Structures are given as C-alpha cells and as structure tokens.
A and B are shown apart, each in its own frame.
Chain A
Amino acid sequence: MIAELGTFCLTLAFVLSVAQALVVPASKLKLFAGFARLSEGLSLSAAVAAVLSFAALLYAFLASDFSVANVAANSHTSKPLLYKISGAWGSHEGSMLLWCLILLSFSAMVTLLGAGLPDSLKHKVLAVQGVLGAMFTGFTLFSSNPLARVYPAPFEGKSLNPMLQDPALAFHPPLLYLGYVGFSVVFSFAVAALIEGRIDRAWARYVRPWTLLAWSFLTVGITLGSFWAYYELGWGGWWFWDPVENASLMPWLAGTALLHAAIVMEKRDALKAWTVFLALLAFTFSMMGAFLVRSGVLTSVHAFAVDPQRGILLLIILFVTSGLGFTLYALRSRALGSSGVFAPVSRESALVVNNLLLFAALSSVCLGTLYPLLMEATTGKTISVGEPYYLLTFGPIMGAALLLAPLAILLSWKRADLKGVVQRLAAAFGVSVVCAVVATLGVKGIDVGGRIVFILGLLLGFWLIFGSFKMLADRVGLFKGTVTESRRRFMGLALGTHGMILAHIGLGVFVLGATFEGHARLSTAASLSAGKSLTVGGYEVIFDGIRRYDGPNFLAEAADLTLRRKSGQPVCDAAPERRFYPASRQTMSEVAICFTPLNDLYFVLGESSLNAAGQPQWQVRALYNPWVRLIFAGPLLMALGGILSLLDRRLRLGVATSSKALKEGGA
C-alpha cells in the first residue's frame, strides 16, 4: 500500500502544482478574489506531497519491494544500504522524482523565505513555479512513474550499475539537481518580473541569493561528479568534455555570468535586459541538460538509457517553458530601460566584458556539444568534438576572462582610474610571473610551445590568487595602519566581500591545478608479477602480490602495491582492485590513490595473463598526477565563497525576513 500511496501523493503533487499555477491568474476574477495568496499554501502542500511520494520510493528501495518496477530494475537484496538509498535516484524515473521533489521544495522555500517580497511578485513567481512543477510532476507521473508496479513481482532485482555504487555518486545527483533546479526560481523571478513589467534593483537583490544558492550547489555537484569520474572510471582524467559534463557546465557558466550581471544591476540599475536574459538562459540550459541525459541522443557513462519518446516529451517541456519565457522577454525587453550610466573604464564595464567573455565561452561549449548531435540528426554523419576544440576555443576566452578578473574587482563603480589600478596590481602580477616560471622549472619533457602555455596557465592561476589578496589587503588597509586596525576592518568586511574574494581565490587554485596536472602528468603501464616493480614520477611501485576477498555484493581481486621514493623511503601502500559483481555479471576496476599533499599517485589494476615463464602477471597502470588536489579543492572554495556571500545580511534583505521583524516594523 505504501508504494500506491506514493503514487497517490505524486498525483496530489501534480494537481496541487496545477492549482498553484491557476490560482494566481484566477484571482483576477471576482469570485476568486484573494486567491493568489493560496499559491503560498499550495506550494507548501505540493512540497509535502512530493516529500511523501519520495519517502514511499525510498521505503520501496530499503524494503527491496520488487513489485515496484524501478526497484526491480535498479536494486538487489545484496546491495549495501547506502546504495539501496542512492538507487532511489540512480535511474531515470527515480531521478525525475528527485528533480520534482527539489523543484517543489524550492517553490516552498520561496513561500517560506519570501516574506519580504512584494505580494504581487511573489505570487507570480509561485505561479510560474507551479507551471514548472505541473510540467515536471506530470511528465514523471504519466511517463516515468518511479513507483509503477510490476505483476508478478520478480524474485530478485537486477541491481544498480556497479559504476554508480560509489559514495561520491550517491551524493552527486542530489547536489547537481539542487543546482539545476535552483535556477528554476531565478527563471520564475525573471518571467514574473517580465509579466509585471517591473524590473529594478530590488529585483536583482531578490534574485541574487537564489542564483548564489543554485550556483554553489551546482559547483559542488559538478566537482563531485568530476571527482567520481577521476577515481571511479580509471582513466586518470577529471574532465572529458563529455556532452553530459558539458550539459552541467553550460548552466554553470550562464549562472556565473548572471551572478556578475546581477551585481551591476543591483548596484547601478544597469544591464536589466541582459540580466533577465541570463536568468532565463540558466534554467533553459539546466532543462537542456536533463533532455540530453534522458532522451537517448547521447551515449555516455553519465547518460540514462531512455527511450526517445520520453526525450520528445522533455523537449516539448523545454520548448514550451523556455519558448514562453523568451517570447515574453522579446515582447517586454525593450521596456527594460537602464538608468545607470557608467564610463568605459569602470567596474560596470569590466563586468560587461566579463559577461561577454563568459557568454562567448558558453557559446563555444554549446556549439561543441550540440554540433555533433545536429550533424548526426541532419546528415547521419557522426563526428566527435573533443579536447583540442575546447582548448582552442574555450581556453583562450576563459583565459581572457580570468586575466580581467583581478582588475575588475579593484576598479571603482561608475568611473575608474585604470592606471592607478594597474599600478596597484603591478606587484601582484610580478609575483605571479615569478611563481609561474619557478613552478615549471622542475618539469621536463615539454616543448617550447607547451611550456609557454604551461607558464601562461599558471600565471593566470597565481594572478587570480594574488590579485584577490591585493583586493583584500586594500580593503583592510594592510600595512597602512596598525595590525589591530586591519583586523578590525577584516572582521567588519561584509560576508559578500569575503565570499567574493574566496571564490576568486578558489578559481585561481582550480586553474593552477588544471594547468599543472594537464602539463606535468606522467603515466606508465606494465605487466607485473609478484616482486616486480615499475617507476613513475620518481617513485618506485613494487607489486607485492594479489589478494582475493568477498565484498558485500562483489568478489574482489586486489593488488598489494608498495610505493617508495627512489631513495627507498616508503610513501604508502596501495591496493587497486578488480571487482566482479555477480548480480549484474559486470567487472569493474577500483582505482587506488596514494595521496600526498598536492599530488596523487594513481593505480589501476588490469587483467591477468601468463608471462613467458608461465607465471601469472597483472597489467598495472600507474599515473603521477601533480597538483591534482587543487582541481577539486578550488571549486569547493568557490562554492564556500558562494555560501558566504549568501549569508551576507544585505543579500538577505527582502528574502529571509522573519514575521517577527515584520511585526516589529509595524506591519
């Protein structure tokens, strides 16, 4: 009965979402006067119904109820508890319900945290959220019901793809969806404001916290996914320009541009049309990601294998929602005149250039992702767009954007003194050049062209970090007064400023890691029998032997490796594995990583064979990935910066006002 109640709650959530969308326009009728307020209550009810429905799905997975088709297809009695839980969103159907749950929860959050919003705007936002909620819950209910039953129930489930049985991947989808779906609120704010015909600085202030929230979650979600790909797939890389990865990068880039544009709008009442355009674009790309992953147009480790019919439905949702949003934008954008005036050399101008560059980068990713699909659809030819394309297009554009960033944050609003800013940053640039050159000195085997790119990449990373520190030093008056004074100023800095500095430092840290790892990575492979060794990156890897053991739902063959420096000093023991999952009859590689503060030594165990002497030997692949830690630490710093900014009291104005404050204020 619990599974059926789950389906009932999903229908309830669907009908409540439809009602939420309808009550706002209906309130224009006399009979339904005041009904717009109901959208608040309905958003809460719909969220509760979605929670109950998702709880029913979780129960079905935990109880291994194979009469639920989704559980039968994606779970197994022998699966560990964590993966029984994560199995709930490991399939297309379950992940759609998670999407709906997050979407309806965000609608509820608009109600709960939106006490400071004007009623008219808030209700319109909730109406648009209701439309989105109705579309997605409707799609889930009628074409992808995760609680659909099967009769007779199979005796056992087919289990979850072993590649997805991983802690990072258990948390990656929820965080990613929090990012994707978080942009729905921004989208709804944009549509609501276009309907109202009123977009001002207050609107930008309402939108920024939601953008920051979605952007921070998306940053962590993408990073977790990248980290998973790095250690689970056994390729040794962290980003493959896979179309599905790109599908998550595109809303992130749009969201990043939006964050910066919204600052200009909030401060200077400028870039209104552009900011609204980006708000519509960010969620459009989120929905496009959902379509690409679920339509069957892509073959990827990340893609759900789904029939194209569902893809067409998602495409319709994408076209209807984005189409309506952009049509409204086309009709109303001319009326969104900007009153803020600024000089060509000002922070506003720098942020405009930043936005143009981010948009160009986004376009290059979009083209590289969609062109092969369009080509195949129209001509039947299959082409592949890979890393070289992105390094030649995305790389230089983002390089220019990164070069500009430290300048932009030191420029003044309205009119700035470029010469003065350049002078203030000269020392930071000089130190960055020295650090970049010194860091590359120890890396051998790179040609002149490669070394120049290597140095430029590191220079950008150090430039972002030192440039951000320079800003911090200026703000706290470092070396201009007493330490106590600087400390007082530091404590007094708005959280938004701390967040901004931290996010830019995080970006610099990421750029350092990506550049260094990309140019200085070493790899080797050999067939080793017990007692034999190989060398990589100044380390000796000794193959001690093979060990076999039974896991909770797999059988493992683990290689015991001892890692030593060439001097003989031991570094660590590593045990890469090959696991056989009987339920799905799949064999997977489990990578072993030796962590040093900055670098990884990464091992993959391959298949066994017999050597010339007839003894068993195993293929061992070893990679030395220098500075790779920074690639994952950087985005986490960026997300932390986003969260810090989100906590800024000024951002909370008009968003998270308690009813107590309203009463105190004489409401």
Chain B
Amino acid sequence: MILFSVIAAALSGAVFAVAVLWLKGRAPVSDLSRGKALYARFVDDVDRRLERGQIEADLALEEKAEAGRALLKAARDHGEATAPLKPAVVMAGAAVVAALSFGLYVVVGMPGYPDQPYAQRLAAWTAMAQTNPDALPPKPMSEVLKARADDHKNDAGYWQQLGRHQVMAGDYFDGARSLETSVRLDPKRAEGWSDFGEALVLAADGVADDSARKAFAEALMRDPNDISGLYYTARILRDDGRFDEAKVAFDKVSAQLPVGDPRRETIAADMASLDEARATQGQVSAQIQGMVDNLSARLKTEPNDPDGWARLLRAHRVLKDQTAEAQTLSAIRAQYKNNPDQVAAILDKAKAPVGRESG
C-alpha cells in the first residue's frame, strides 16, 4: 500500500506537471492580440496564394475584406487578457484534487490487491505441481501439463493425463482432443478409448455422437469388461430406445463393481429410469405421429407454410424416419424451387431442438 501510494502520488504529480507546463508556456494573451495574429496570418496566406496564381484577384480582395471586417469586430468586442494565476491557490487546488482522487479510489478500488498476470500464475502453479501436486486444482494442473506439450509429443500417457485433467476442469473439448491424441499414439488401451468417448459425450452435453459411439466400441473391443465403456454403451442403448439391451449392459457394469462402490447407486438410478423412459417414449412417439399426420394433411392443402414444413421435417428426424424425411425434403424443394433462400431458412429452422423453435 505504501508503494502504491508513492506511485499514485508520482502519477498525480506527472499528470499535474502536464497542466503546469502548458500554463507556463502560455502567457495570457488578449483576444485582440490573438485576433491580430490570426488575421495577419490569414492575409499573408491570401497574398501567397494570389502570388502563386492559385486564386483570382477579386477573391483575394473579398477574403482580405472579410478578414478586415472580422478584425474590426474583434477590436470592438475584445476582452482583456485573463488575470494571472495565484500559485499558492493553484497548489492548494492540486493537492485537493489529488487527495479527493485518492479518497475516492480507496472507496471504489481494491488497494493492495496485486495483479495476477497469467504467466506469473502459471509459474506459481508449475512450482506447486513439483512440490505439492495434490493441492493443485485440475485446471491449473492441466495448464501446467499443457505448457510441457512440446516435450511430450509422442507420449500417450502424458496426453491421457492432460486430457483427464482437462475433463475434470470442465474443458471437455480440449480434453477430448488430448485424449484423441493419446489413443492415436497408443490405440491398444481400452481405457484410453473410453476416456476419449466420455470426453466427447461431455463435450456434446451428454449426447453420444458417432465419434463417441465408435470410441466406446473400440474400448469394448479391446476389453469387453471396461467399466466406463460398458456404462456409456448402456446409456447409448437406452437413448436409442433399446431398453432390453440397455438393461443387460447396466447389469454387466453393476456386476463388476465391488459392493459399497458409490457408482452402484448411479447404476441403480439409471436402471430405475429405464421403465420410465420406455413408457415416455411410447407416448411421445404417438403424439408426434399424430402431429405428423395432421401436419402432412394440412400441408397438402396449404403448402405455402414454411414453419409447417420445418416442423414436419423436425418431427421426422425425432421419429428417425429417414424415408419420410427424404420425401419431405423433396417436397420442400419442389414447393420453393424458385426461392432457395426460403429452402435454406426452413432447413435452418428444422435444426432447432424440439421446444426451442422460434417463430
């Protein structure tokens, strides 16, 4: 705080010095003197331009007359030079400004809170990783590891550690990329593939896309009892509506977990949700199918309804009815064959998740 106060005082001094230097270099000048100087310069300039042939004589005369009139007006209206400043009052004023500024700063600022440039923090984390790594949270640890990437380009274990820390820190996407590098360098380990798949699922907000499914399949191919691989495969089967197969997979996971393992509770909850999911899926499919039938019938009679086409396309996708989706796409393109922007807008709207449609 003392150092800060000294620097703040020095800064204030420097800022005031600018004002003092300006005022010292500018002695008070009366408006009349200023006017004389200005118009003399203006008339000189007119003469120069006339000499060079850049303006006509009559224009020069007109401009000079204007300057003369302005000068007469300045002589009539001019004010006296400003009174000189009293240095003591100015000094006192400067002190008041500096004190007020500092007082206000104490209210709005955080005196004593140091800067934390990233490079400096990384250096501190690195030192801590070498002395007390367990105390280091996942994010700093992942940053410390990431800083060493150039030394471990071909080290699958390094990339797996980095990826795991990134996932723990919530950087799912970066974690997935690190884990992908790990399995590329050493594709034999089932654990590496299931870690990679898990990161992909987390990065996609819990949805297992084709890459994640492939990763879990790779993991189970190398180790059919890989717990993580089995667990995510069970969830994928459940999400696909293959409830019986999902139950078998969850059973397999549960059987491998020792008694008292907290993960057993998660598996039990997942299995309990299977029946509920089965019932819900039936209801939703019936509702959507009803909506699809009504919408299809309406669009046959009133085909100029972009929102309706977008909803129909989205419904086919939800029902995973690819044949109907392709037919609807063809119908949209035929309906709006002269308006490709409209087709693009419908396709764009159809991508919105159910319940988040706009318009």
> Which residues of A are interface residues toward B (Cβ below 8 A)?
1-5, 7-9, 11-12, 14-16, 19, 31-38, 40-42, 44-45, 48-49, 52, 60, 63-67, 77, 111, 115-116, 118-120, 141-142, 145, 149, 151, 153, 155-156, 198, 200-202, 488, 491-492, 523-526, 580, 582, 585, 606-607, 612, 619, 621, 649-650, 653-654, 657, 659, 661-667
Q: B108: which of A63, A116, A142, A653 is its contact (CB, 8 Å)?
A: A142
CB of A111 within 8 A of CB of B37, answer no
B114 at the interface (CB under 8 A from A): yes
CB of A141 within 8 A of CB of B108, answer yes
Residues in B whose Cβ lies below 8 Å from that of A141: 104, 108
CB of B118 within 8 A of CB of A65, answer yes
Residues in B whose Cβ lies below 8 Å from that of A115: 34
Inter-chain CA distance A5–B10, complex, in Å, is: 11
Nearest A residue to B33 via CB reads A667
Residues in B whose Cβ lies below 8 Å from that of A663: 37
Inter-chain CA distance A49–B17, complex, in Å, is: 12
Nearest A residue to B28 via CB reads A37
CB distance from A138 to the nearest CB of B (A): 10
- State the total of A-B contacts with C-beta under 8 angstroms: 222
CB of A15 within 8 A of CB of B82, answer no
Residues in B whose Cβ lies below 8 Å from that of A14: 101, 104
Inter-chain CA distance A523–B70, complex, in Å, is: 60
B264 at the interface (CB under 8 A from A): no
CB distance from A481 to the nearest CB of B (A): 13
Inter-chain CA distance A612–B323, complex, in Å, is: 9
CB of B23 within 8 A of CB of A2, answer no
CB of B70 within 8 A of CB of A526, answer no
B341 at the interface (CB under 8 A from A): yes
18 A-B residue pairings within 8 Å (CB atoms): A4-B110, A7-B105, A8-B102, A8-B105, A14-B101, A16-B101, A34-B84, A41-B18, A41-B19, A119-B79, A145-B108, A151-B113, A201-B70, A491-B54, A492-B55, A612-B326, A661-B41, A662-B34
A-contacting residues, B6-47, CB 8 Å: 7-8, 11-12, 14-16, 18-20, 22-23, 25-26, 28-29, 31, 33-34, 36-38, 40-42, 45
Q: B116: which of A33, A49, A67, A488 is its contact (CB, 8 Å)?
A: A67
CB of B18 within 8 A of CB of A155, answer no
Residues in A whose Cβ lies below 8 Å from that of B40: 664-666
Nearest B residue to A120 via CB reads B79
Inter-chain CA distance A120–B77, complex, in Å, is: 12
- Tell which of A41, A44, A63 has the most Cβ of chain B within 10 Å: A41
B3 at the interface (CB under 8 A from A): yes
CB of B117 within 8 A of CB of A64, answer yes
Inter-chain CA distance A666–B347, complex, in Å, is: 77
Stretch at the interface among B89-97, B249-257, B300-308: B89-97
CB of B101 within 8 A of CB of A15, answer yes
CB of B18 within 8 A of CB of A8, answer no
B355 at the interface (CB under 8 A from A): no
CB of A49 within 8 A of CB of B15, answer yes
CB distance from B289 to the nearest CB of A (A): 23
State whether A661 and B108 are in contact (beta carbons under 8 Å apart), knowing that A40-B23, A41-B22 are contacts in the complex. Answer: no
Q: A525: which of B54, B90, B117, B343 is its contact (CB, 8 Å)?
A: B343
CB of A666 within 8 A of CB of B19, answer no
CB distance from A199 to the nearest CB of B (A): 13
Q: B118: which of A64, A650, A654 is its contact (CB, 8 Å)?
A: A64
Residues in A whose Cβ lies below 8 Å from that of B119: 63
CB of B15 within 8 A of CB of A4, answer no
Q: Nearest 3 CB-CB pairs, A to B?
A: A665-B37, A41-B19, A492-B54
State whether A15 and B53 are in contact (beta carbons under 8 Å apart), knowing that A1-B114, A4-B113 are contacts in the complex. Answer: no
B137 at the interface (CB under 8 A from A): yes
Residues in B whose Cβ lies below 8 Å from that of A45: 15-16, 18-19
CB distance from B69 to the nearest CB of A (A): 9
B100 at the interface (CB under 8 A from A): yes
CB distance from A101 to the nearest CB of B (A): 14
Inter-chain CA distance A65–B343, complex, in Å, is: 46
Q: A492: which of B49, B82, B344 is its contact (CB, 8 Å)?
A: B49
CB of A665 within 8 A of CB of B110, answer no
Residues in A whose Cβ lies below 8 Å from that of B4: 1, 4-5
CB of A659 within 8 A of CB of B85, answer no
Residues in A whose Cβ lies below 8 Å from that of B229: none
CB distance from A300 to the nearest CB of B (A): 16
B276 at the interface (CB under 8 A from A): no
CB of B19 within 8 A of CB of A657, answer no
Residues in A whose Cβ lies below 8 Å from that of B38: 116, 653-654, 657, 661, 665
Q: Mark B109-135, 1 if CB is under 8 A from A, else 0.
A: 111011111110100000000000000
CB distance from A665 to the nearest CB of B (A): 2
Residues in A whose Cβ lies below 8 Å from that of B29: 119, 662, 667
- Tell which of B40, B113, B116, B326 has the most Cβ of chain A within 10 Å: B116
CB distance from A339 to the nearest CB of B (A): 12
B279 at the interface (CB under 8 A from A): no
CB of A665 within 8 A of CB of B36, answer yes
CB of A662 within 8 A of CB of B97, answer no
Contacts A38-B93, A118-B31, A657-B37 supplied; 11 other A-B pairs, CB < 8 Å: A9-B11, A34-B28, A37-B28, A38-B19, A44-B22, A48-B15, A63-B119, A118-B34, A523-B341, A585-B173, A666-B33
